[in-house]
Amino acid sequence: MKIYNSNILLIVLFVVLYSIFIFFVEFQLDFDVATEMIVSSVFFFALFSGFFIARQNDRYTEIIKTISERDGLYSSLYRIFGMVPRIQGEIRKSLQKYYRKIINKNNWAYNEFNPSTTITDITDSMKSLTKEEGEKIENYNCFDGIWDVIVQLQQNRKKIIALYNERLLPFQWMLIYIFTAISMISFHFIQTDHFLVNLLKIFFGIAVLLVTLLIRQLNDLAVFGENFSNRIADDVLWVIEERDKEAIGILEKDLKEKIEKTKKEIEQENNKE
């Protein structure tokens, strides 16, 4: 919400200042020079902004894929050990602690950048498997690659850290800001007294500003929205806390009550007859 409010304030301030610039500042440039400057500045702005937006979009795609993989691996570990209730209970506690931190800090990568013993705790739980518990699962193929999951989780953690830090460099930001400013100024190189044309210049300037803000939001991973971390964490907690079973139980209870109520109504109608 703070980022949204700051962007709105910036846009309003820009509209006021840019309108003053368009309506009260005059340039004396040859028409051919003015058009060449406009075409060149817009071309380079579109070229660099398009390139950086495409790169950040690829980054977002990889982040979504990596987060889905992480959550899927943790969920599968929990479900696989359903045959060993003791270990499943320990994994549940570890994952609850892991995802509660994400919700409390509202940061999907909190555990990757802060001390976390989740993978270690799960590994210790798996190593504590007794001989009797091992006999329960020895004939099930789903346990064959269980240690590979731990390796994948560790690799996943490193990948998240790398993707999180894959931001634009200061030199790249300098290019964006330079061509943003040149494009905004060049729109006014062609002078006119027509109000609608000047209004269009303001709209073009706003569009350039919005593209720059979009790049900044992509770079800061702000496009996910404020509730993204809470949603992905709650989805996993729904699995490990087995809320689906509770929901199904409630539905079954309601269904039984409705059936009983319908039976009683039918009996009452038959008795009346």
b or e along 31-44 (b: 16 or more beta carbons within 10 Å of the residue's beta carbon)? eeebeebbeebbee
pLDDT at 265 over 50: yes
Average pLDDT over residues 126-147: 71
Residues 6+ apart with CB under 8 A from 143: 80, 137
| Whether 105 and 166 share a structural domain | yes
How far does the chain reach from its first CA to its final CA, in angstroms? 65
CB 113 within 8 A of CB 164: yes
Percent of the chain whose predicted confidence (pLDDT) is above 90: 40
| Whether 263 and 164 share a structural domain | no
| Whether 110 and 197 share a structural domain | yes
Considering Cα of 38, then 44, then 46, then 49, what sign does the dihedral take?
A: negative
CA 154 to centroid of chain Cα atoms: 21
| Whether 251 and 131 share a structural domain | no
What is the per-residue DSSP string for the chain? -HHHHHHHHHHHHHHHHHHHHHHH------HHHHHHHHHHHHHHHHHHHHHHHHHHHHHHHHHHHHHHHHHHHHHHHHHHGGGSHHHHHHHHHHHHHHHHHHHHHT-TTHHHHS---HHHHHHHHHHT--HHHHHHHTT-GGGTTHHHHHHHHHHHHHHHHHHHT----HHHHHHHHHHHHHHHHHTTSS----HHHHHHHHHHHHHHHHHHHHHHHHHTT-TT-TTHHHHHHHHHHHHHTTHHHHHHHHHHHHHHHHHHHHHHHHHHHHHH-
* Residue 261 lies in domain: 245-273
| Whether 29 and 93 share a structural domain | yes
CB 129 within 8 A of CB 84: yes
57 or 140: which leads in pLDDT: 57
pLDDT at 249 over 70: no
pLDDT, tens only, 177-233 = 999 999 999 988 888 888 898 999 999 999 999 999 999 999 988 888 778 889 999
- The pTM of the full predicted model, rounded to 2 decimals, is 0.76
| Whether 228 and 267 share a structural domain | no
**Count of the separate structural domains present in the chain:** 2
| Whether 184 and 263 share a structural domain | no
251 pLDDT band, cuts 50/70/90, is very low
Considering Cα of 226, then 229, then 231, then 237, what sign does the dihedral take?
A: negative
| Whether 146 and 77 share a structural domain | yes
Return the closest-CA partner of residue 236 out of 98, 64, 139: 98
Mean pLDDT comparison of 21-30, 46-55, 256-265, highest-scoring range? 46-55
pLDDT, tens only, 43-73 = 999 999 999 999 999 999 999 999 999 999 9
Q: Which of 56-60, 86-90, 139-143, 168-172 has the lowest mean pLDDT?
A: 139-143
| Whether 163 and 235 share a structural domain | yes
